[in-house]
Structure 1
Amino acid sequence: MDKRIIGASLVCLAVLAICVVLTADVSYADEEETENPVIRLHGIIYDIPAEKDRVVIEGVTVTTWTSPNNPFETVTTDEKGEFLVSYDDNVKYISFTLEEFTVKGVCSDLHSYGDSGLYAIILGENPTQFEGTHDLYDSDGFTALISRTSALVYGTVTTMVSDVEKPVKGAEVTLTTNKGVLRTETDSDDAFSIVGSSGVSYQMKVTANGLVTWTAEVTPSEEPINILMDEKSHDLFLGMDLAHTIAIFGLLIVLLVAIITIYLIRRPEKMDGLYVVNDLEPIKPKKKNGDL
């Protein structure tokens, strides 16, 4: 056989072998890339009340969506604030909902989708995963931060003066929970308002000089809290309040001073064996018959 033909055949076989190897490598690489796709999303959600550091929150509804109108799966966070939800290439959005709470921040894999309350999931070309689970949070350690929706506690403070309702200016109003204290004062129109959190119960206290402290447990609502404070009662003497007690004691002191003054001015003196008031003429005894 011609050596040239043999050489050409060997070259063709070598090229064919190289093509087979390259094709196998590409196929293996493709299989390796798709061997462990992301099939689950793992996340953690924190509550961020203003008065303290963030804490995990249980019971948040987490929903994935294939489109803004088509939910895919819904789960809720556990006692550790964590959730695990299914994922595939059709899942495009995720949402976090809890009554009276608002989302305040999300991780870098999520991007707000208008005002819909949805967040677009953008994992990138090579998302990190372990056994098909992608941790949906950054180095900060959160998927989403939520907090209670703000709500007002507001109203007026008044008192009765001579049977007429009058505004109480400068009354101190405080709202207390185990997370802290909020405070303000009434203005010149007897009004007050404090920004609290929706759904939270507060111990409310109102104090003002000369008035009885007012306390109650309240929750922010659309209705105002109108407070009528009573005057302080000072039962000190015979059932009378402080003002009347002071007036009576003052009158008694004046009367006592007057009596002492009169006594000092018209004090009786002994004259000729008789006691007379010093501003009167001495009274001489009448002479008896036969006296010289």
Structure 2
Amino acid sequence: MAADARIALVTCAAFPDLWDDDHPLRDALLARGLAVDVVRWDDTDADWSRYDLTVIRSPWDYVPRREQFVAWAHSVPRLANPGDIIAWNTDKRYLAELAAAGVPVIPTDFVGPGETWTPPAEGEWVVKPTVSAGSQDTARYRLPAQAAEAAAHVARLTGAGRTAMIQPYLTAVDTAGETAVLCLPDASGELTFSHGIRKGPMLRRTGEHTIDPGSEDISPRTPSEAELAVARRALSAVPGGAKRLLYARVDVIPGPDGAPQLVELELTEPSLFLREGPGAAERLADAILARV
């Protein structure tokens, strides 16, 4: 079966040959004798039933069409990660569930359509929608000076029928940076730590803007034991269990007391920074081979 297996790597129109970071995975799959197709998630001519496994990689244009994307994910017979995980993870309100499960999540307020938000008296705050990718519609504000701008940002989101989320800006990102803990299946199929990277600050100015993924300040990093512990706690709270996952990225930043806080648990279409993790593409290809 594996020798005749065909894999779909899912992308979008902006990256018809995949995002550059996924080329090592494609090459590793080909080296193992698997057939590989790169397919847009919204390609109406695609026959997803012909693939032994469909692996989501860079469908980054789904945000304004999330309902369509989730319906697509539920329709694909063999999808990694699974459709119910995609539905749960593409709306960042999942952070409230993780916090309730005891995961140390950065404090987050959610403001839905028809609700009002009163800006805090002071501090730096990040406003963004609960459904987004690539830091779209995300901005950083210093209060009280920019309270009106922050409130207007929230009002624009909720007025468009979206849910806004407001988080304190963790200043450690300007020095220590953000740590991404990348997890892939081991030989037994258990999701485990693979490699880590450091991401530098991205929200350098006020105002809504889209950040080009290629503009990120990325370098390899070995996560601390405390960061790995947060990753394990977050994965243990995934609905249905983490063993179903083919990949996961856990993003953490030191909080005011220095202890890591979860920023995001990326289970849908995260960059996996395969070029920064020696052997990571090969490990992921082996995990895919094991599943087919």
Would the TM-score normalized by the shorter structure come out above 0.5? no
| Structure holding more strand per residue | 1
Higher RCO by CA contacts (8 Å cutoff, separation 6 or greater) = 2
Query: What's the TM-score, normalizing by structure 2?
Result: 0.18
| Structure holding more helix per residue | 2
Query: What's the TM-score, normalizing by structure 1?
Result: 0.18
